Amino acid sequence: MRRLAAAGRSGLVPAGLGALAAAGQAPLGYWWMTLAALALLIRRVAQARDPRGRLWQGWTAGAGYFAASLFWIVEPFMVDAPRDGWMAPFALVFMAGGMALFWLLAAGIAGLGRSPAGRAAGFALGLAATDLLRGYVLTGFPWALLGHVWIGTPVAQAAAFTGPVGLSVLTVLAALGLALARRARPATALAAAGLVAAVWAAGAWRLAQTEAPRDPPIRVRLVQPNATQALKWLPGMWDEFIDRMMRATAAPQDRPLNLIVWPETSVPYLLGDSGQLLADATAAAGGVPLALGIQRAEGTRYFNSLAVTDAAGQLAAVYDKHHLVPFGEYVPLGDLAMAFGVKAFAAQAGNGYSAGPGPAILDLGRAGKVLPLICYEAVFPQDLRVPVRADWILQVTNDSWFGNLAGPWQHLAQARLRAIEQGLPLLRAANTGITAGFDAKGRVLGQIGLNREGWIDLDVPAALPPTLYARWGDWPVAVLLALGLLAVGLRRRRTD
């Protein structure tokens, strides 16, 4: 018991530093606090000679970081609290503890270094490397990457060249410089400040450059009905939310529209059963094509889809979401789980959704070539790299699952980063959350606030030429990290 209590006490400081590091994530955006907390954590892990002590500190720091940044994970369980609320604390504990294993791995990588400085470099690079791994392992969950703390600052412009993990590399290198600083030798701290200042200045210069407007113009109306999850599927509320979207769709136009967008699963019927609703929506749109989130069925399989109707109300295109949320939209080994009555948390039709064939480009005529994303798909930058270049990105989402605090803002921030990475404008329509538009450099075009009903008309800006990240993805950063870790390991061999 004494040993267990001592271990618990030794983990309090790393857990607290991890929690402070999460303050850089949206909505706070305190990137400077992230750098300071990571610097102290890197120094602490580097000074631990015992490998088990380093692993423990890495895991507890990760648990603090992910508990503080992903606390919104309890929100889906509170939609029907009497039935599901008891699972909320377990979800947070398992999520934070499981994601903390990546930081434990980073602490293990710290062992590549023999000296404290070597261990510090190993741990810092290990944190960035595990950010990369989190985007791919077990279908991936690249939420709350260390590099996300720069979203909303000029530094985020570097993502056009390096992607999100490149921003994580910048974060850990700056923190490493602070961690290695000494009173007698402040050079590493000055180097860290100079690195951030240089990238900040380059990003500000990039933002200051002007682009020609799109020709011909594209104008899109985004509709947010403020359909909260607790009320969204209640039969008595269906008509109310549909009426809100109909009113927004029929509202006067100051200039001609090319597309009207309703958010994810905004229609309470299957696509095959929505004929009259689509006819009414077409009439309200007054000849403007309509894109709407809807569920559809093929036999016993159900899909979370985006359907697009043309000016005459005929179905013109359908996109099926392909990157599904584990346990939210599908259950692994779902056919077997179905036999035991286990169904996906968010699925309203069947026991879970089936995945679509993959990313697609929808040619919407005057509205341009669109890369559609449904909710969670905007979290995965690798899914946006498709052979055909789109004119812009359209995300429909249902952020009411994420609650009213950090979740919706973090999801919005990641969508914003996708625009910068790809050099493509991005528009998003939310059931409730934050409906917004961004240009190809991530600048805000306009938005509807959290938990508000309304609509907004936005002109889609011109796309930029394909960015370096759009061409090469994560490969350059992966190679850079591998070379850095190799250098740390080789230095250890030379000093043995």
Looking up residue 388, the CATH number of its domain turns out to be 3.60.110.10
- 276 and 308 fall within a common domain: yes
pLDDT at 433: 83
Domain assignment present for 468: no
Catalytic residue, chosen from 75, 321, 377, 421, is 321
Domain check: are 284 and 178 in the same one? no
Q: Is residue 347 part of a domain?
A: yes
Claim to verify: residue 87 and residue 224 sit in the same structural domain: no
Q: Which residues contact 144 (CB under 8 A, 6 or more apart)?
A: 22, 25, 65, 66, 69, 70, 410
Residue span of the structural domain in which 173 resides: 2-209+473-495
Q: Is 136 helix (H, G, I), strand (E, B) or coil?
A: coil
**Averaged pLDDT, 456-479:** 97
188 & 242 share domain: no
Asked if 129 and 262 sit in the same domain, the reply is no
Is the same domain home to 259 and 169?
no
Is the predicted pLDDT of residue 2 greater than 60, yes or no?
no
Residue 235: predicted pLDDT: 77
321 catalytic, yes or no? yes
Q: Assess if residue 200 is contained within a domain.
A: yes
In a domain? residue 487: yes
Predicted local confidence at residue 231, as pLDDT: 78
369-374 and 290-298 beta bridge pairing? unpaired
Q: Which of 75, 232, 375, 421 is catalytic?
A: 375
88 and 162, same domain (yes or no): yes
Are 350 and 306 part of one and the same domain? yes
**Residues pairing with 218 in the sheet:** none
> Each residue of 188-205: pLDDT tens digit?
999 999 999 999 999 999
Is 359 strand, coil or helix?
Answer: coil
Same domain, 387 and 482: no
Residue length, the chain?
A: 496
Per-residue pLDDT of 345-402, as tens digits, reads: 445 444 588 999 999 999 999 999 999 999 999 999 999 988 899 999 999 999 888 8
The one catalytic residue in 264, 329, 377, 421 is 264
C-alpha dist (Å) from residue 483 to 133, 274, 479: 16, 55, 6
Task: Identify whether residues 168 and 262 lie together within a single domain.
Answer: no
- Residue 214 resides in a domain: no
Identify whether 264 is a catalytic site residue.
Answer: yes
In a domain, residue 134? The reply is yes
**Cβ-contact 392, 425 below 8 angstroms:** yes
Number of independent structural domains in the chain: 2
Looking at the fold, whether 139 and 32 belong to one and the same domain comes out as yes
- State whether 189 and 295 are in the same domain: no
Mode of pairing for the β-strands spanning 435-438 and 219-224: unpaired
Q: 315-320 and 301-309 as β-strands: parallel, antiparallel, unpaired?
A: antiparallel
> Among this protein's residues, is 441 annotated catalytic?
no
Asked if 154 and 200 touch (Cβ cutoff 8 Å), the reply is yes
Tens digit of pLDDT for each residue in 256-272? 999 999 999 998 889 98
DSSP code of 430?
E
Average per-residue pLDDT for the chain: 91
Judge if pTM exceeds 0.85: yes
pLDDT confidence of residue 272: 87
pLDDT in tens, 429-440: 999 889 999 999
Structural domain contains residue 391: yes
